[in-house]
Chains A and B, each alone.
Chain A
Amino acid sequence: MYERLCVIIPCYNEADCIAGVLRDLAASLPGATLVVVNDHSDDASAREAVATGLAEVLSLPVHLGIGGAVQTGMKFAVVHHYEYAVKFDGDGQHQAAEVERLLQPIRNGEAEVAIGSRFLAGVTPHFHSPLLRRAGMAVFRIVNSLLAGQRITDNTSGFRAYNRRALEFLAEHYPAFDYPEPEEIVLLAHNRFRLREVGTAMAARTTGVSSITGWTSIYYMVKVLIAILMVAVRPAITERQTL
């Protein structure tokens, strides 16, 4: 049973697959609380999620972007005293059967945040992405590995697990705008949270398209790199508070 686990599912226009995602999660994780954060979808996502009867549905009155949605779920998990939380995409990319593997290092105290990686050996056969995206991921791999002081292979992965301490921290300080994943890693490492990457299988997305293409990807790269460098030069938040 997973009664102390909260699964946070940010959802923006995923009406086609959200119900399937919820059914998979409920089957794999009996007793876990599934929280769908509907980021002001234009489609029937929220209705589909409510109709399954499997999830708590939080509906944002305006669109905030993925980071703002995820942080809402984290606040929910903190307020309702969950011990662990897992972030799980609503588009079918992540696999419910992999959650337990991701949670393992958190449960036995080896890490406070676990990052599901597509690239760690022996799990996913091969991921073919466009050249530009591969280049972007390589940049994040180098920059983040340097700044985090440990090798992080999959910095854009949204499949992550958190312990209570990390949740409390992120509910307050999550880098909550459009593309927070790489920044989140540097923020956590910089504040001395113990991170661990876990090789997890991921599916190619079943519906929808990536929101990061063409010019947007250049904007994304520049913006996120600036954000990461700024996080790295700021004093750690945990230290700032004790001063």
Chain B
Amino acid sequence: MNWIEHLTRIQIISLLGSVLFLLGILECVRRQLLKEAYALLWLALGGGFLVLSAFPGLLELARHIGILYAPAALFLFLIFGIILILIQYSVVLSRRTEQIKTLTQETALLRHRIEQLEKNADSAVDGKPRQS
């Protein structure tokens, strides 16, 4: 177990954090608190963190695109991931809005139809209104 000695303290913490985060997300999916479709982006984000924690040298690559301070690359990665997830939420929300609208309209049309049918049924039974 030679390699463990080469890990810095912050690396150990971030590795542990990433693993716990991934396990947490998977646990949510297992308990059906979170749908697989919505877990995907979170898992990708956690996976990215795990990779970056294991190979922090990757952050130094950011130098080539002009990010001189390595932790800034980490923030960039994090913020980009969160924005992606938020956009996914807006998309889902928009779809829900449309679905709720359609259901609401259908409910009103069906309710009207039921009222009509009841009225017709009432007049069919010797014209007496039914007790309700």
Chain A positions within 8 Å of B, measured between CB atoms, are 37, 56-62, 64, 68, 71-72, 75-76, 79, 176-177
Contact = CB atoms under 8 A, between A and B. Distances in A.
B93 to A, nearest CB: 13
B105 interface: yes
B109 interface: yes
Chain B's interface: helix, strand, loop or mixed, by majority?
helix
Given A75-B109, A76-B109, A79-B109, A61 B101 contact: no
9 contacts: A37-B108, A58-B112, A61-B104, A61-B107, A62-B100, A62-B104, A64-B101, A68-B105, A75-B109
A113 to B, nearest CB: 21
Contacts, number: 39
A4 to B, nearest CB: 19
A61 B109 contact: no
Interface in B84-115: 97, 100-101, 104-105, 107-109, 111-112
Contacts of B111: 58-59, 61
A64 B112 contact: no
A58 B109 CA distance: 7
Nearest to B112: A58
Contacts of A59: 108, 111-112
Interface string B58-94: 0000000000000000000000000000000000000
A56 B112 CA distance: 8
A64 B109 contact: no
B129 to A, nearest CB: 15
A61 B109 CA distance: 11
A171 to B, nearest CB: 10
B107 to A, nearest CB: 5
B26 to A, nearest CB: 36
Contacts of A79: 109
A57 B101 contact: no
Contacts of B105: 60, 64, 68, 71-72, 75
A62 B100 CA distance: 10
